[in-house]
Amino acid sequence: MTRSAVTLIRAGTLLALLAAVLLIGTEAAPAGATQPPAPPDAAAAHTFVGTIAGAPESARIGVVCDGKSFLVYACSDDKGFNADHAAWFKGASAGDKIEAVNGARTLKATVTADTVSGELRSGDTALTFTAKRCDDHVVAGLYRAEDGDGLFGWVIDEDGFVAGGVQRPNTKGAGVVPNNGVIGGVKAPAGKNGAQVAGQRVQNPAQPPKGKKVKGFSPARRAEFLARIQTKTPQNGNPLLPALIHMVKRFNTGAKPETKVEEAAFAQLRKLPKQAIIDYEKNWEKIPVAVRQRLAGPELAKMDPTKALTVERMGELVKAAGIQPAAKTPRSNTAPTVSQVSIKELRALDTTGEVKDEIFAIYVIGADNQVFTKTTAVLTGIGNGDTRTFAAADRVVFPPAEQPNLTSAGDVLVTATLFEQDNNIGLVKTLVKALVDVVIVTVAIVTAPAGAAAGGFVVPANLLIDQIAAGLPDAQTLDTDTFRATPDGKLLAIGNNNVKSELKFKTAEKKGPGPFDFRLTGLDVRTKK
């Protein structure tokens, strides 16, 4: 059975609760007395996001506090609300209480380990709110940026909904920042010089971020990227792509899964913020029709979003893609097996531009009759000549973390793709992995019980990843490379016996993000009998 995406979890919740209990104090309470609610521990900042009662539906409030200081922002997509109520509040915490004044607006709230509840007041109007803790969520939080045009703030909730406001110099109240979609990251409108600043998540309430400059994609650069993907696509397109887009559309309509294929696919899509999947479909539909048809092929026109994708129909698409069930690899008590494959580091010999890159690697791995994915952590601030060593967990490409004792009697095939984006790349990483996993789990159902032949699926996966990137207007792939690790301890190219010592992601072309030159080095394979 295929093992794929690992469910996103919020790390450290139990530790935070224990720390909060310790902060209550050492003095014993009288019998029957109620202990005051515990504020977050002072060792780290915590983030809370919520809605505001009595305000427009789009109104959101974001709170970041660390037990010593706090930063709060309330805003919406409603001009009237932002003019009267949108405001930043900051100050020092007093136990579990936070209070602040900003002009005619006031904030009073109580902080516990899990929530912040309180009141916003503007003049004679009082609004109540409750914000829920969302530490380590892939996107939810309070974001901030500033430039010569003003101070920008955004609150993103766990569904991926974005509310934004801007305080401009010598202007009363706050304006609304147009929502450009959660996938691309929150960005201020381009300034007078055409430059654009993106919001950064607030991590330290006493030292909030100022935002960061982003490159953005010009229409010409976007067209170059789409042209590159079309060149890589076979003449009849990729039959797996229309299946993926169909299931995304079905999921966004709120349809309940009617088949095993949909049950498996929807389980992967539920791991993502709702708005991210909606934005992805919108971005896909913005791609020129001719390009969509070229990428997906003739099967795209045959997909009816009102009808469930059956196992039989998915089987036809898998067959059209040339994917066959796996042949069982015989095992021997004396023959060696692959026990681990690892990649140590990323080297940047030549990066993509003046703004330092943010990059992650996504791997599609095939071993015996299993296919699965893995993504690395995002490597930030990468400039020319930089080398970044992956964390220990990120170095291990095989076996998957959920099957640490898995070995392979046959070759372990690996295809690696680098992704680059200047903003909200963490969400892009999660989204790309989930979409690839949608295809993997549905192919596994069709090819059960043997599973998909790794050689027939892993190598074409780089095409699928490129095509998925077509629906991400601010992200791009930086080429793909592949290798196979053999049971006799060799690292070879797929398709021949040439030795591979590194993976190259390089182009000399000056189109799109080029020229660039990145390497994944420190490839290693371990075997055992």
User: Read out DSSP for 131-151?
Assistant: EEE-TT-SS-EEEEEEETTEE
Cβ(163)–Cβ(155) under 8 Å?
A: yes
Q: What angle do CA 466, 469, 474 make, to 5 degrees?
A: 140
CB 308 within 8 A of CB 314: no
Element (H, E) at 181: none
Going by the DSSP 8-state scheme, the letter that residue 325 receives in this structure is B
Asked if 261 contacts 445 with a C-beta cutoff of 8 angstroms, the reply is yes
DSSP state for residue 355 in the 8-state scheme: S
Rounded Cα distance, 507 and 476, in Å: 14
pTM (two decimals): 0.87
310: phi > 0 → left, psi -120 to 50 → alpha, else beta; which? beta
For the chain, how many helices (H) and strands (E)?
12, 28
Beta carbons of 84 and 122 less than 8 angstroms apart? yes
Inter-residue long-range contacts of 211-214, CB under 8 Å, 24+ positions, other chains counted: 211/144, 211/145, 211/146, 211/147, 211/152, 212/145, 212/422, 212/423, 213/355, 214/185, 214/187, 214/355, 214/422, 214/423
Neighbouring residues of 392: CB distance < 8 A, sequence distance ≥ 6: none
At residue 337, what is the residue type?
Answer: T
Angle ∠(340,341,345) on CA atoms, nearest 5: 135
Question: How is residue 231 written in tokens?
Answer: 């060149």
Unique residue bearing structure tokens 């993509």:
352
Question: Cβ contacts of residue 279 below 8 Å, gap of 6+?
Answer: 160, 181, 182, 183
Question: Are the C-beta atoms of 266 and 247 separated by less than 8 Å?
Answer: yes
In the block, tokens 């390009």 appear at 291
Nearest partner of 284 among 275, 294, 273, 292, judged by Cα: 292
56 vs 14: CA distance, rounded Å: 34
pLDDT at position 452, please?
Answer: 74
- Give residue 161's pLDDT: 96
CA distance 483 to 494: 5
Instruction: Check if the beta carbon of residue 331 is closer than 8 Å to that of residue 378.
Output: no
Q: Alpha-carbon dihedral of residues 378, 384, 390, 391, nearest 10 degrees?
A: -70
User: Residue-wise pLDDT tens for the chain (529 aa)?
Assistant: 333 333 322 333 323 322 332 222 333 333 333 344 444 444 589 999 999 999 999 999 999 999 899 999 999 999 999 999 999 999 999 889 999 999 889 999 999 999 999 999 998 899 999 999 999 999 999 999 998 878 999 999 999 999 999 998 877 778 888 888 899 889 988 776 667 889 999 999 999 999 988 866 778 888 888 998 999 899 999 999 999 999 999 999 999 999 999 999 999 999 999 999 999 999 999 999 999 999 999 999 999 989 999 999 999 999 998 888 877 767 777 889 999 999 999 999 998 876 788 899 999 999 887 899 999 999 988 999 999 999 999 999 999 999 999 999 999 999 999 998 878 899 999 999 999 999 999 999 998 887 777 777 776 788 899 999 999 988 889 989 999 999 999 999 988 899 999 999 998 877 767 789 999 999 999 999 8
* Spatial contact of 485 and 491, defined as CB atoms under 8 Å apart: yes
Distance CA 106, CA 89 (A): 8
Map tokens 């913005």 to a residue: 286
pLDDT of residue 344: 97
Query: What is the DSSP-derived secondary structure letter of residue 376?
Result: P
Backbone conformation region of residue 522, classed left if phi is above 0, alpha if psi is from -120 to 50, else beta = left
Query: In whole angstroms, what is the distance from residue 55 CA to residue 254 CA?
Result: 27
CA–CA dist 470, 461 (Å, integer):
14
Q: Could you give the domains of the chain?
A: 13-23+35-214 (no CATH), 337-426+468-528 (2.60.40)
Is the sign of the CA dihedral 101, 107, 108, 111 positive or negative?
Answer: negative
Q: Which residues of 246-267 are buried (b: 16+ CB within 10 A; e: fewer)?
A: bbbbbbbeebebebbbbebbbb
Q: Specify the DSSP element, H or E, that contains 392.
A: helix 392-395
